[in-house]
A and B are shown apart, each in its own frame.
Chain A
Amino acid sequence: MLTKRIIPCLDIKDGRTVKGVNFVDLRDAGDPVELAQRYANEGADELVFLDISATEQKRKTLAELVFHVAEKLNIPFTVGGGIASVEDVDILLKNGADKVSINSSAVKRPELINELVAKFGSQCIVVAIDAKQLEGNWKVHLVGGKVPTELDLFEWAKEVEQRGAGEILFTSMDNDGTKNGFANKALARLSEELNIPIIASGGAGTIAHFSETFKTGRSDAALAASVFHFKEIEIKDLKNTLKKEGIPVRI
């Protein structure tokens, strides 16, 4: 049986992990490679690296990081953040990324999804969608959720699927940072209306939130950052609890 995936997300700036990370026993808490290995050993099913740097050197630095992560990591990982062209994706995949995630660039030019799928295959193209509710309707937002668009979440998600994306990473800006749980109603509707895997993101605070998003939210995977970085939730405890509740997980 296919298991539900637990995905820690690492924010990267200029090749280094950002946000305070309190793994006291790490030699270098800012080293993404060491942190990635640590998560893999603890039972993470996959990792996401989100590059938030905006320097001229960004491309080269990110490609080098991907190379070093791939060298050490024996689980899959996705790279996202500012990816805007076939060339960008080519460099990352050649350096060892398993998947890439695109966001704003797909909204600005949806054909990019088709182009990437034609060249690299659906299996490595994740489309990330940030959305929040405006007057009761889920609207897609850009630039990390700051800029609203006219796009409806569910219509955009369907278009993303039709254009060939292999997976959707949906972040609810209403839930992100609240630690009050994932946007399970919207997630369940995405799973109802689409036939590609959905990764839930935004709102993880407790183990119960993961359980709820797999049950009522019908999510295929759940992504979180701070609860893992700050050790508020240990992946082993999380997976043991999920297993006891009858949710299929890899232990």
Chain B
Amino acid sequence: MGLVIIDYGAGNIQSIKFAFQRLGIQAQLSNDIETIQSADKVIFPGVGEASSAMKKLIQSGLNTLIPELRQPVLGICLGMQLMCNSSEEGNTKGLGVFDLDVVKFNSGVKVPQIGWNKIGNLKSPLFQGLNEDYIYLVHSFYAPKGTETIATSTYGLEYSAALRKDNFYGTQFHPEKSGVYGNKILANFLSIK
């Protein structure tokens, strides 16, 4: 079933679909459990507020499905945050894939962080062949650094710009909006077995 983008009513999924289209891949948008289960790869997007997005996941049963997926899964922005244990935004529980708690920036910086920042300390196949470079972010909350961190960025403090646990990947930034460099990260995700 190729690439499926989970469509649960939270986020600008059109941009992600277009980004893969530019890579020559037609992604399918779906919230159907069987369709998602049978996908080769899954994108878990999300923008907006964490607790209301979590409610939407629970309503559609996706909260139990997502952590059990066996194929490569990429959470983007709020998607990545919801894959953590919890979020301070709306004090919600997360899906518990990544063993981190998402908290709000509170270190003398403007919130939200909006714009292009550099990522470094790159690990994992997601950044295969890539050096540190600029990526586009929009967020008020962040996942601290942990053992699952595969890229870091600095905004008042150093935080997780990307995470990985087994088949689960997450990026705080928007690869679909991060220019040519972002395209390469999405292409890398597509080549993960």
Decide yes or no whether A180 CB sits under 8 A from chain B.
no
Cross-chain contact A196 with B111 (CB below 8 angstroms):
yes
Decide yes or no whether A114 CB sits under 8 A from chain B.
no
Cross-chain contact A1 with B154 (CB below 8 angstroms):
yes
Per CB-CB distance, the 3 closest pairs between chain A and chain B, nearest first, are A121-B48, A96-B14, A123-B138
Decide yes or no whether A94 CB sits under 8 A from chain B.
yes
Cross-chain contact A96 with B112 (CB below 8 angstroms):
no
Decide yes or no whether A110 CB sits under 8 A from chain B.
no
A45 — which chain B residues lie within 8 A by C-beta? 115-116
Given A74-B19, A76-B136, A76-B177 in contact, is the A195-B111 Cβ separation under 8 Å? yes
Please measure, in the bound complex, the distance between the C-alpha atom of A1 and the C-alpha atom of B118, giving whole angstroms: 6
Given A95-B14, A96-B14, 5 further pairs, Cβ under 8 A: A1-B117, A1-B118, A93-B12, A124-B138, A166-B114
Decide yes or no whether A107 CB sits under 8 A from chain B.
no
Cross-chain contact B15 with A96 (CB below 8 angstroms):
yes
Closest to A251 in B: B134
Decide yes or no whether A2 CB sits under 8 A from chain B.
yes
B176 — which chain A residues lie within 8 A by C-beta? 74
Cross-chain contact A196 with B117 (CB below 8 angstroms):
no
Decide yes or no whether B67 CB sits under 8 A from chain A.
no
Q: How many whole Å from B134's CB to the nearest CB in chain A?
A: 4
Task: List chain B positions with a Cβ less than 8 A from chain A.
Answer: 12, 14-15, 18-19, 21-22, 47-49, 110-118, 134, 136, 138-140, 154-155, 174, 176-180, 182-183
Task: List chain A positions with a Cβ less than 8 A from chain B.
Answer: 1-5, 40, 45-46, 67, 70-72, 74-76, 93-98, 118, 120-124, 166-167, 191, 195-197, 220-221, 250
Given A96-B12, A98-B12, A196-B110 in contact, is the A5-B47 Cβ separation under 8 Å? no
Given A2-B155, A121-B48 in contact, is the A196-B12 Cβ separation under 8 Å? no
B114 — which chain A residues lie within 8 A by C-beta? 123, 166-167, 197, 220
Tell me which of B18, B21, B49, B115 has the highest count of chain A C-beta atoms within 10 A of its own C-beta: B115
Q: How many whole Å from A116's CB to the nearest CB in chain B?
A: 11
A221 — which chain B residues lie within 8 A by C-beta? 115
Given A71-B18, A98-B177 in contact, is the A2-B113 Cβ separation under 8 Å? yes
B138 — which chain A residues lie within 8 A by C-beta? 76, 98, 123-124, 166
Contact pick for B139, options A46, A123, A196, CB 8 Å: A123
Please measure, in the bound complex, the distance between the C-alpha atom of A161 and the C-alpha atom of B110, giving whole angstroms: 12
B155 — which chain A residues lie within 8 A by C-beta? 2
Please measure, in the bound complex, the distance between the C-alpha atom of A103 and the C-alpha atom of B22, giving whole angstroms: 33
Cross-chain contact B183 with A74 (CB below 8 angstroms):
yes
